Structure formats: structure tokens, C-alpha cells
Amino acid sequence: MVVKLSRFAPLVFVLLWSTGFVGAKYALPYADPFIFLSTRVLAASVLLFVVALVLKSPISIGASAIKRSAIIGIFLHATYLGGVFYAISRGLPAGVAAVITSLQPVFVSLLAIKFLGEKLRSTQILGLFLGLGGVVLVLGPTFDNKMPVIGIISVFIALAGSTIATLLQKKFGAGIPLLAGTAYQYLASGLVLAALAGVTGGVHIQWSSHFIVAFLWLLFGLSFGAVLLLLWLLNTGTAASVSSLMYLVPPVTAVEAYVLFGEKVNTQGFLGIGICALGVWLVMRTAN
């Protein structure tokens, strides 16, 4: 039963991860990006420590494991999330942020050959570039000439953070207890994000009903569900196959934006969604 349910883990991950952009659109009008993310991940850290205690999962995991978790967390949560949320807060369209960060599978797959010793078959390489092409088809019409430079820089920093975190988690994270390791990731990244909020002066939060709903969803759906699934998938699969799932996030986000905000997906977009799905299937099918 567990094996059968695990087959749905990639699908659940994509659905949860894609809602991050929707949550950002709801939450950012009511809070500055770094203080919002700091509050979210520090709350997630406390809750994960409590869950670990209740489940009698180890919390004292040693200085080396804590250090590795902190480094992974700073790249994954502070650098990636901080870069994306700051870019969107500065006026970069969420779709553009999604398509740039979706370049991650190409970088991860190429770097994994050198640093992790993974090998890519020709069909996997084809799948990676099909996925990239599909993402561009879906979100290409969102590009224009009025994108803020600081937003572009921030989202490329986020892309670098996500890529580095994925490689580090695959190389060093497998032996770290999942709950405690993730809690230390959140603790370290929360402190860094709080420092960024203080330096930039962005410490405003308006606790409206809309913000609270978005905050709770991003806390439980993303910080718990999606991130724990991501780390589990990295511990059980190849970096290339897991990263390829990121190609599905922008198309799924586009569909969610259509349902929730009335943002239309044209024929080109649906074609791109199909190509993304084909690309991910090619990578996952031959990943092992």
C-alpha cells in the first residue's frame, strides 16, 4: 500500500509546490516579503520540532548534521524563496519568475553528472529540453519590456539557490533525520530572512483575514507538505528526475491562476502543458 501511494508523491508535490505562487499573490499585498517568509519558516521550524518530539523522532542529530541542514536551508528557503518573493514584490510577474526558476532542472541535471556521478540517457536529455520548451510556450506571452531589473536579478539568485540546495540535499542530506533536519533548515533560513528584513526595513505585516488564510496555507501546504515531499523525493530518487518535476509547476500554476483569478490559458499554453508532461515522463521513465 505504501509503495502504491508513493507513486502519487510526485503529483502531490507538483500540486502543492505550484500553489506557492498563488499564495504569494494573496499574501504579498499585506506583508513585506522577507519578514513574511521569516515568520512563516520560523513557525514551521517550531511546529516541526514539536512533531518530532511527539513522534519520538531524534532532535539531537549532531553538530555536523545541523550545520549541513542549516546550509541547505539557507540556499533552499532563504535564497530561493527570498529571491522569488522579493522579485514578485518588486513587480516581476509571477509567471516570469516561474519560467526562470524552471530552468533549474537543466542546471541540476548537468551539474549532477559532475558532482553526484549521475548519468543521463539520451531520452532524459530530450525530456529535459522538451520540458523547458513547454514552459516557454506556456509562459512566453507573459514577457514584456517593462520587467524590473532588480526583479530579474533576484529571481536568478533564487534559481542559483534552488539549484545548489538540490545538489547539496542529494549529496549530504540523505542521512539526516527528515523532521529534525528540515526544522534546522527552517531555523537557519528564518534567522537569515529576519536579518534581511531588518536591513531592508521591510518589517510590515497586516494581519488581515486574506493574509492569515494565505499564511496558513503556505505554512502547512508548502512548508510542511511540499518541502517534506521534496526532501523525501530527493532522498529516494535522482536529482535529475526530481528536478524535472519543476517543469510542471509553471503550467499547473497557470491553470490555477485561470481558475482562481481568471487568467486565461490560450491554445499555445495548453500545448506547452502537454509538452511539459511528455518531457517529465521521459525523464522519470528512465531515471533509474
Domain positions in the chain are 2-285
- How many other CB atoms sit within 10 Å of the CB of residue 202? 17
- How many degrees, rounded to 5, is the angle at CA 41 between CA 173 and CA 222? 75
Contact 80, 165 (CB under 8 A): yes
Which run of H or E residues covers position 278? helix 267-285
Model pLDDT, residue 141: 67
Which run of H or E residues covers position 171? helix 149-172
Task: Tell me how far apart the alpha carbons of residues 210 and 268 are, in angstroms, rounded to a whole number.
Answer: 33
Q: Which residues of the chain have pLDDT under 50?
A: 1-3, 288
Model pLDDT, residue 143: 61
Identify the DSSP state of 205. Answer: B
Model pLDDT, residue 2: 45
Contact 186, 69 (CB under 8 A): no
Residue 154, CA distances (Å) to 35, 271, 273 in order: 16, 29, 26
Q: Which residues of 32-65 are buried (b: 16+ CB within 10 A; e: fewer)?
A: bbbbbbbbbbbbbbebbbeebeeeebeeebeeeb
Model pLDDT, residue 281: 77
In tens, the pLDDT along 185-227 reads 999 999 999 999 999 988 999 999 989 999 999 999 988 888 8
In tens, the pLDDT along 130-149 reads 888 887 777 666 665 577 88
Task: Tell me how far apart the alpha carbons of residues 182 and 176 are, in angstroms, rounded to a whole number.
Answer: 9
pTM for the whole structure: 0.80
| Helical segments of 29-148, H only | 33-54, 63-73, 82-89, 94-101, 104-115, 122-139
